[in-house]
Structure 1
Amino acid sequence: MLLRKIKNKLVYEKEKWTTWFNKCICYVMRNPIVKSMDETIDAIVERRASISRYGDGEFDIIFGRTQGFQGLNYELGERLKEVLVHNGESDRFLVALPDCFGSLEHFTPEAQIHWKIRLNKERYQWYRIMNRNVPYYHAQISRFYFDWADKSQAPRWAEKLKKIWSGRNVLIVEGAKSRMGVGNDLFDGANSIRRILCPAVNAFNSYNKIIEQVRKCANQDDLILIALGQTATVLAYDLYKMGYQALDIGHVDVEYEWMKMGAIKKERIVGRFMNEIDSGAFVDESFDNSKYLSQIVYTIE
């Protein structure tokens, strides 16, 4: 009993010191600058830029933890660190972070608590691997509804996002059962849609197969939209280096659905694999949307 009390006291003191230290980091290390949602979307549209996005899930993998549908993978962690510092190398490639390093008033109370907890524990770890000499772009372009305190901008942002793929031939690289845009009008403005289906979990384990198949299926002028968790962050960068426009844009379809239904809590969406809600991994196996099925050009098991 005494040893347990001593251990608990030591853990408490360590956590208290860690919180104090990370709060002080703001005064000794410059916060990363994150450009606005509009600036980010405009850069993608006007420059035909590619984008890799980072959130707490990507940092979890970098620091040797599992996250959602991606298990522990040190190679993926190293690749994520590599891409993060390429911020600013080209106008055609954007690295994006969440706008969580200064004021949090633009977020809902729940989201504010989430980011406070994460940064009180990890701010220094995150800052020391960033390139803070140039601005980052806004990672939440695909999470434009749920976490925002003022949701009135969401419809306008959604319409701006649609301009990215308007009139384009789109290749969607997504997890099996993600089914982006199926049953809604999100991608109605695209000229055409094809899909490569990838493993819904641990996609990075099949990374070589995925990138090989994308290169076989994609034309140079295609727009490649990727929804593969942390794997998408690396894949968007590698495809940009090969001359493609590739967007790490997972969750955009889910946020669009929540916006249309005016959701105030994270609702399950029928027919979608979702990692952020209970039972989200259980998806109807009898899905037989003929239009969707006709768009599938390859499935990676």
Structure 2
Amino acid sequence: MLEKLKKAADRVFNVKIVNGKPIPVSIENSSTDTKEMEKILRQIHGELKSQKRELETIRLSATSDIMQAVSAFHSRQVMSLRESLNVLATTDKSLARFGDGEFRLMQLSDFNLRFQPNSPDLQSALREVFTSDNENLLIGFPQLFRDAHWSGVYQELWPNLKELVISSQSFANAHMTRPQAFSVLGDEAVRLWRKVWEGKKVVFVTGADSRFELIPELFDNLAGHEMVLSKSVDAYSDLTRLTDTLGDTNADMVLIALGPSGTILASKLADLGVRALDIGHLPNSYQNVFKGAQRPESIPVTRKS
């Protein structure tokens, strides 16, 4: 197949050699060769689709046992999106969320995020949060997905992660802050989130130059707010200052958008009796679903200067 494509391309393109490499310089007006090229490309496309289906079958078979175990855990111990939001809206519990980034930082010493380098201290802090027995702290566990990305994550991490799971613990659904919550629950998700902080004085914690926005659709019912800025890169190194600053706040709650450091900060503040919610990409998630904006992970970590 590739040889056929090469021969057709050689007929369609005029080629010259530049620095030892063939460079196409013009295209002949040959409808016959163009049709032949299109036919070959359609055949290649068909073969690639067939290979993709075969690879998907192999992936599902290879990850079947792991995904069954994760699914069983999820059914037993992870709340639905609605249940998770109802808990936040009707109690004073704090929230620390885990996603694939936090799990990989926690378990893989050579894994780094572009805005958060890893370290033994960071790994230890994340493990401490994940295994916390603070009854006023909800730990967020990701929504169950079975796609190639998440099956790969669990294939790599679940054997060790399951050893840290406390069998009696209920986890919140970490995707309550992600587009899935607004896609599944619609306006109900907006209503429940707004109920969490309605009439409250709030401190927002985010990185300097962060893309975080206080959009009125979510936050115009606050009694008041202030901003505390941290580092855009390696916010974990700023955690001691943040904990000291916020540990005696007079605000009703602290809302945090600070990546993995936000997970840890929420837990530390909860241990000090301060209600803290790691809300991450919440405004971006709202805008993605209701305004057609980009998904949170497609937006730069910091604003362009």
Equivalent in the alignment of 1:31: 73
Q: Which moved more, 1:21-30 or 1:178-187?
A: 21-30
Structure 2 counterpart of 1:154, one-letter code: G
Checking the alignment, whether the CA contact within 8 Å between 1:23 and 1:120 is kept in structure 2 is: no
Match of 1:113 among 142, 148, 159: 148
Taking the aligned partners of 2:104 and 2:60, their CA distance within structure 1 comes to 18
Give the 3-state SS of the residue equivalent to 2:219 in structure 1. coil
5+ residue gaps, structure 1? 1-17, 106-111, 267-273, 286-301
With over 3 angstroms needed to count, the CA separation of the structure-2 counterparts of 1:241 and 1:118, relative to structure 1, is same
Question: What letter corresponds to residue 95 of structure 1 in structure 2?
Answer: I
Tell whether the 8 Å contact from 1:239 to 1:246 is kept in structure 2 after alignment.
Answer: yes
Cross-structure match for 2:257: 227
Task: Find out whether 1:248 has 2:278 as its counterpart.
Answer: yes
Could you tell me how far apart the structure 1 residues matched to 2:149 and 2:264 are?
25
Change (3 A) 1:195 1:23: same
Aligned twin of 1:262: 292
In 2, Cα distance between equivalents of 1:259 and 1:253: 10
After TM superposition, the structure 1 = structure 2 runs for residues 204-215 of structure 1, keeping only pairs within 5 Å, are 204-215=236-247
Q: Distance in 1 between matches of 2:279 and 2:62?
A: 33
Assess, with a 3 A threshold, how the Cα gap between structure 1 residues 165 and 79 changes in structure 2: closer, same or farther.
Answer: same
Question: Distance between the aligned counterparts of 1:37 and 1:174, measured in 2?
Answer: 24
Whether 2:303 is the aligned partner of 1:283: answer yes
Higher RCO structure (Cα 8 Å, ≥6 apart): 1
Q: Give the Cα separation in 2 of the matches to 1:43 and 1:183.
A: 23
User: Does the Cα contact within 8 Å between 1:19 and 1:121 map onto a contact in 2?
Assistant: no
Q: Does the 8 Å CA contact 1:22/1:123 hold for their aligned counterparts?
A: no
Secondary structure at the aligned position of 1:186 is classed as: helix
**How many angstroms does 1:284 deviate by?**
3.8
Conserved 8 A contact 2:116-2:233: yes
**Equivalent of residue 55 in structure 1, options 90, 94, 99:** 99
Q: Secondary structure at the match of 2:243?
A: helix
The whole-number CA distance in structure 2 between the counterparts of 1:215 and 1:75 is 21
Q: Do 1:84 and 1:131's aligned partners in 2 also have CA atoms closer than 8 Å?
A: no
Q: Equivalent residue of 1:196, what SS?
A: strand
Shift of 1:188: 0.4
Name the CA distance, whole Å, in 1 between partners of 2:119 and 2:100.
16
Cα root mean square deviation, aligned: 2.7
Alpha-carbon distance, 1:67 to partner: 2.1
Partner of 2:158: 123
Please give the secondary structure, in 1, of the residue aligned with 2:89: helix
Could you say if the C-alpha distance between residues 24 and 192 of structure 1 is closer, same or farther in structure 2, counting changes exceeding 3 Å? same
Given that 1:34 and 1:136 are in contact with CA atoms closer than 8 Å, whether structure 2 keeps it comes out as yes
**1:169 Cα deviation (Å)?**
0.1
Instruction: Return 51-60 or 150-159, whichever deviates more.
Output: 150-159
Q: 1:27 to 1:261 in 2, by over 3 A?
A: closer
Q: The residue matched to 2:218 in structure 1 has which SS?
A: coil
SS of match in other structure, 1:35: coil
Shift of 1:28: 6.8
How far apart, CA to CA, are the structure 1 residues paired with 2:62 and 2:215?
Answer: 48
Matched residue, 1:156: 188
SS at match of 1:256: helix
Deviation at 1:282, TM superposition (A): 5.7
What's the % identity of the aligned pairs?
25
Q: CA deviation at 1:173?
A: 0.8
Aligned length: 243
Find the aligned partners of 1:77 and 1:180 in 2 and give their Cα distance: 26
Superposed CA offset, 1:138-185 (max 9, x none): 111110x2x57x925233212211111110000001111225334543
Give yes or no for contact 2:210–2:301 (8 Å, CA) kept in 1. no
The aligned counterpart of 1:199 is: 231
Question: Residue in 2 aligned with 1:69?
Answer: 115
Aligned letter for 2:148?
Answer: I
Aligned-partner residue type, residue 198 of structure 2: S
Q: What is the DSSP-based 3-state SS (H/G/I as helix, E as strand, rest coil) of the residue aligned with 2:241?
A: helix
Structure 1 residue matching 2:209: 3-state secondary structure = coil
Q: Are residues 252 and 23 of structure 1, via their aligned partners in 2, closer, same or farther at CA, if it must alter by over 3 Å? A: same
Q: Measured at CA, do residues 27 and 174 of structure 1 come closer, stay the same or move farther in structure 2, by a change above 3 Å?
A: closer
**Distance in 2, Cα, partners of 1:96 & 1:152:** 18
Structure with the higher helix share, 1 or 2? 2
| CA deviation map 1:78-127 (0-9, x unaligned) | 1111111125x41x221110122xxx47xxxxxx3321221222221221
Q: Give the drift of 1:22.
A: 5.6
Give distance in 2, aligned partners of 1:140 and 1:167. Answer: 25
CA contact (8 A) 1:174 1:228 kept: yes
The letter for the 1-side match of 2:234 is: N
Structure 2-normalised TM-score? Answer: 0.72
